């Protein structure tokens, strides 16, 4: 039994996997909150692409909440794994949420700087994530997922108003088509 488990784990870790972003949609719902300057999905090659998002604040924010919703496509989009809201400012101050901590560690190489609350309005300064590429092997080590299409919706809430939503989807396969 142990030998078959080890063989299965070795087989799963040696597979060549393929995952790339399929879509990206950003929507500003409160224009007093800020201005979306860039929301782009860029093709790097046939098998790779990246995401860039730039947002300019119009007013300082001392309490920012983020709602994360994961979905899996199965005869329509179905909720998958996580759906929760967290105080982003509390996280930046105390690093007190495991799931957001994993996501932040994954995103931090692509962020322009380290952010802290309150988020201040500074001329010519943007909140941005540049050229974020999906590293499916890193993601798969933490979240063993099956093949399929997955989506993430991020909703940013300040002063009890939804200011920005970012929707994106990825397609994940345990093999690469040639």
- Return the exposure string of 56-65: e unless at least 16 CB atoms fall within 10 Å of the residue's CB, then b: bbeeebeebb
Which pLDDT value is given to residue 155? 94
**What pairs with residue 66 in β-bridges?**
86, 156
The string of pLDDT tens digits covering residues 97-152 is 888 888 888 888 888 777 888 888 776 678 899 999 888 777 777 777 788 899 99
Which pLDDT value is given to residue 17? 55
Which pLDDT value is given to residue 178? 45
**What pairs with residue 85 in β-bridges?**
67
CA dist 94 and 89 (Å) reads 9
Which pLDDT value is given to residue 14? 47
Which pLDDT value is given to residue 69? 92
Q: Where are the alpha helices (DSSP H) in 41-175?
A: 88-94, 98-107, 136-142
Pick the residue with more confidence: 52 or 19? 52
Report residue 136 as tokens: 């499916």
Which pLDDT value is given to residue 175? 60
Pick the residue with more confidence: 9 or 144? 144
Contact (CB, 8 A) for 13 and 141: no
Contact (CB, 8 A) for 66 and 85: yes
pLDDT beyond 70 at 176? no
Pick the residue with more confidence: 15 or 88? 88
pLDDT beyond 80 at 3? no
Which pLDDT value is given to residue 54? 93
CATH code reported for the domain at 17-173: 2.70.220.10
Contact (CB, 8 A) for 163 and 156: yes
Which are the contacts of 107, defined by CB distance < 8 A and separation ≥ 6? 129, 132
Pick the residue with more confidence: 5 or 24? 24
Which pLDDT value is given to residue 142? 72
Which are the contacts of 72, defined by CB distance < 8 A and separation ≥ 6? 78, 80, 148, 149, 150, 151
Of 35, 48, 166, the closest CA to residue 103 belongs to 166
Does 118 sit behind a cis peptide bond, omega within 30 degrees of 0 on the bond before it? yes
The string of pLDDT tens digits covering residues 47-94 is 889 999 999 988 888 889 999 999 999 888 888 878 889 998 888 888
pLDDT beyond 60 at 95? yes
């Amino acid at each position: 039994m142990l030998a078959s488990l080890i063989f299965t784990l070795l087989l799963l870790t040696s597979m060549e996997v393929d995952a790339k972003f399929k879509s990206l949609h950003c929507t500003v719902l409160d224009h007093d909150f800020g201005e979306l300057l860039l929301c782009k999905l860029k093709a790097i090659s046939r098998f790779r692409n990246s995401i860039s998002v730039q947002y300019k604040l119009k007013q300082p924010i001392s309490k920012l909440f983020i709602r994360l919703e994961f979905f899996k496509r199965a005869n329509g989009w179905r909720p998958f794994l996580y759906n929760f809201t967290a105080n982003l400012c509390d996280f930046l101050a105390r690093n007190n949420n495991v799931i957001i901590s994993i996501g932040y560690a994954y995103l931090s190489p692509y962020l322009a700087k380290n952010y802290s609350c309150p988020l201040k309005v500074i001329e010519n300064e943007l909140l941005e994530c540049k050229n974020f590429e999906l590293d499916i092997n890193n993601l798969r080590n933490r979240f063993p997922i099956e093949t399929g299409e997955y989506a993430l919706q991020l909703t940013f809430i300040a002063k009890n108003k939804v200011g920005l939503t970012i929707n994106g989807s990825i397609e994940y396969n345990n093999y690469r088509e040639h």
